[in-house]
Structure 1
């Protein structure tokens, strides 16, 4: 226990984690604060008195990546916890409980102060008692440990959450369940089976997937003389496991079930016998020492044939497949109540060569026999379906061998196949037989070997799909997972990686047993995770002790030599594949070979038809046939691919068997098909787009054009990787015309859907191709497209450089339209960097050319760019809206859905400025629908962020937040950091104006970091300004002034007068906080003048409040320029009140609830100061309604406090007390870091209210 001299008299500190996180000093409950502060305490307590590094503590509480504000917030939480835990300690004296050292924070409360630690120690003592044979002591210790939990159903750490704490909660829950199992086991060891049955029934219901509870219930019921109920409990558990997980109970419970069926004497408890309590290992409790469990009656061995090959010690993985084969097969073949056979089962294991079919069959067969199933006869036959030097085995000959083994003399074996099959079925009748047929060729070879009756399993192994066997259950094997493949290499090489067992009581740092290293995983990957290849690689490594795993990985890296490396002692992957390949007819062989020339990830019947030069139907038949042979894979309907190693094998075959001319012709057919298909898809999405002049080829067969924009998008998404690969392949072949066509056709989709890197790679190939041709216009087009992709990736400086280069190339080529396109792209890059004046000039020059050449789409894009420039630099919103309306009409005319949607969204923003929030929301909903039709996720995010803005002003903050969050997710998914920063800036603004300062600051700082990485200066200016306003509200005046000045300087450089006006107002309020009302008046006046000049009513209302505050604080007279004269309203309280009234009127007109609430609040305070209480109450209640509507809890509490003071001064103490209580309740619900005092108010009737905080 840490020392606590000051508070020792009050009693020791105690903490609870087994339920809600709680703390006591003696019998007094301590308030550990907000959930995240309690999370800090919980993580430190889980450290068990060990130091927890600050970075680890931050990750454990906030997750990764942690927000920027996490460290300072952590320091606040630690300070608050120290005050709670040691209230009498002076701030400068060292803490005796929560300390900091170079190693981290330590919360030292001693071994008995944490219930979770006491629980784990109690469980350990209980287990030790059972190990000594002390069942009574074990039951007592475990029962006492379990009593420490808050309640029977309460989870640990129930009121805190984080990734780390959730893991700890799960760990403690698992330990609790295990302790319950062991306590019940101890009670059973003591003969308390009657007492535990009701509890076990509840536990089985609470933990339906924990087999041990079910086993304990079965044992308890059996010992109560309820054998039927015990068997029923087993059936219910098995049914539940199958329905929930598709698996059967484990071997221990199945064994117990068999012993209950057999009424095994070992299940009866004899407390007088020594060693009876040695039952720590499962539900077979009460088995006397030295007596192993007896075999089930159904497992009694008889004389018979046992031909199974030796089980393979290197077997790895396949747990699910084994459960399916062993568990379900055993149940289907045996009646679990009587132990008698139920009929013949046919199971097929199929998969490609080398996937481990035979190994799985051998392991499953041995497990079935070991469990007492099919114990009479086990037959094995190699059907040689894919033998290199012999034909497939004749089923008649196989039957002859089986009959001789079954005791039929040679002279009595019939000659005819049907007669042999009938005699074979007769000899197996009534026997529990397992027949394994390896390497089956087809159904006709297998069908005569089917048993007829009895409890028989026919297990068939084949490389080919055997779909014609009635009632057969098929297990299809895929290659291993990476971890399984790595584990097989370890097993084969007999090498072990160093590791460490995790600690018994993990705290913040839990050493993990290392997984496979990178080199091992790389070897497994280069083997395609194919078990045969992986095993051969492991054996190769075992025979080369001087090689490291990295050495082997390097040898396997080269595609052309990989299959040669996968060979040991005459066994090769090549040979295994050859057996399948050489069994094919020539058309399928040719298809198998040529498909390896496809450079992409997979193919469809359409693209494969182009590659093979065959019609679609013939091609699909070939693909399906190869799929049945497991020489192709299909992970999605209508899409086919080679396994990686089969691809290498097929590649070698096509180079050996097909001429270079044939291979080149096939590849070019595929390339031309992709060129035509990609151009068709882009034209469907962008009807105004035209290819770069290359003639379309007579691809065979011609691709079918997509029926809709959605179909085009779906095709481009599916074929994205293939388009990139084919583009690279055409460059390698020197077919630069195809390279240019593919790059140009695909780049718009790739750039729009967050595949900018892929797009850039293709466009650079296209640019190289254009340079080789010497065509300046095509070079300019490629450079221009590269610039547009950079712009979409937020690299606006690079975008501008490329557009300038494209402009020069187009001018040199004499391409007027190319010049206009480059200017349009340059204008877009300038706008993204906040250089709206230069952007407008470029769009103006482009507009003239587009109009002259009749390019309506180009005209629409230029008008849209001009509209944005007017909006930000001139403040002429009506003219800007007119330009956007014209662009809107032109986009609609040319069929550009995305452009139409974007202009709809921008017109919605114009409605927002004018206060038409319903129209703003309606426009953004229409835009969202259009963007969804176009499949444009970025556009959807833009529309949602605008819709959120409208919803917030309409008093629907929850809907607004939902739209903001979805917009943020979409921008992140599409890697649009510029859009992400914009949404974070808006979210930060909304949260700070509604009093959620901590969250708002975090969002604004994240936005600022994104702006620094993207060069988005406009959003940076707004973010600096918003962050300055927030710091001002938190009374961090010096920091606020620096941020506001930086934002003001940047907005002036950019010409963003909206942001400049907001920054000036922030400086005005800073001056007011620092006691300089005159400076406040000057800055507020400048802000108001600028807001009026750019027709910004939102900024105008804000600035009017600033002017009013300057006047009521003694800032002298304030004159504001209005039109040709000066708008002047005296000085002092009366003049300030008039400005508040004007602000309220403007804010109400444009429906700006936050600004109007501020104006009404100040009007109420002013009226109270001027002794007009009725008017003051009316304004304060209006402010209260507005703040409740936008969920501004902090503002609502402030207004209620003012209202309480007014009611008290006017002789209404009960009403005043009600408002004070409401304000206090609101404040108590606000996190401590979000609570700030009111701004100061000049001496007068309300002078004291600023500090009268509840």
Structure 2
């Protein structure tokens, strides 16, 4: 994984891309890596990786130190397989579940984890992938040992660097490094990177006093430096005087006061419109905001929002994100911004800003999906009517946007559902996100994300008593469970979907759930129950005169009856399926149903009848001009002729089949609804 820039919010890296100080801490951490553990002293090879802990308050430079350490180790070639990074706490302080962290780390390794797999399975898979690799695992902003321990590799070739506010009790052999403020020389160098050397040189005493007022905290020093950079005519003494004049909040811990003072000074210098936008950025999911997000939150134009975001970066209030066009709200500033939001904005205004942000995301996702539609389609016509700022010029641009914005969009959906006040918008956002992901990545590739989104829909449906939506979400989740081999879990969800469909009086959901219950029993090899549920679903389709579904269900019923050895019933079902396809004018489907009927006749010991049925199916395949189907039927007929003792005729049909298949060289086998034969 590519190296990422040091996090300003957690770090001593000012907006100039440099690292300041911490040489003593770096040396101590490197010594901890080299230090022999108890296993080594005892002559045993350690079964666990070395775990280094960098502890400190947000804004103390803890993440910057971790990134600088890792950068140096990788540059030296000591961990040739690279770096994996994960943030274990969201900007609002919520711990990230192990399932999500492990899935993201596996994705960074190029591994697509099964949809719906739980945290334990994914963590075990991650540990297995890391076996034998020499990598650094950088776990930022851990809340406790319970987040870190499941991710630890099972061998000593990796190095784990954890960043936290305090000790990680419960993980043996952790080597802690606790951070205080920067030394005076490094703190002044950081200020100098913003102000230039002249203002520091003319009043070095004021500069030292300023670093003391900032507590040596890199985040506070960055804000102070940004204030000075925006005011080239102000001296360091002017800033020192202003900071001293600001009263401390008695309810705030002493260690947090320097950052709060520096932030307040920077915030109060902003124009009212910029100050309001900055407060509202506390609502940005994952602390990530682009011009569209800021524009929607503040209710201003996209160009004005982009200009203000760039200004915030210059002031040290934001930093450029890793993803193109996105900016990151420093995690240490999010609590301060939320305090301001609660005190200065009415709840209705905050809710309106959230609604505007969700609505903008919905419109962008709709545009992102529409660009994949053919020219002249209704979706493309609607796309042409959107403002230019909401349109994507090409499919590639839309795909790139969706890829870079996906983490924030998924987080936005989670936050909207958790909020509970904007459920209609949350459902629209989830629906638009599902369609966009499916259009650009395909349902199979996007299955892990779709699984999480369907769970969110289920949460909203259960909270609001929306039975139809609940049935749909359960069916979608069960389908994904079934495709990943969790058939028993799928069966339980299909049954719950049936109950929800009945509560909603939704015939489609009821029929779909009954058929899917039958499919789950078929997959489990319970032919009797599978036939029973297929029969129930068929009865409903017959009552509603839904002919395509009738033909399909007759075929599924015939398949399980064949597996159960009930050949008479199976033959009747397959002939009913063939009749259904014939009435629908579905010639290939008619041919396939007759072929399966021929198979049943063979199993029942009636080869002559099977021969006639197969010949009838071949004639239908010729009418349909389906060469692969015709070739498969020729092979089926050849097998039947072999059983009847006519190898010469069988050989002729095989030659004909091979000629039809041509250079493809693979046989097309007709199968019923199950892959089992």
- Please report the TM-score for the alignment, with normalisation by the length of structure 1: 0.29
RCO greater where, 1 or 2, for CA within 8 Å and sep 6 or more? Answer: 2
Greater CA radius of gyration, 1 or 2?
Answer: 1
- Please report the TM-score for the alignment, with normalisation by the length of structure 2: 0.49
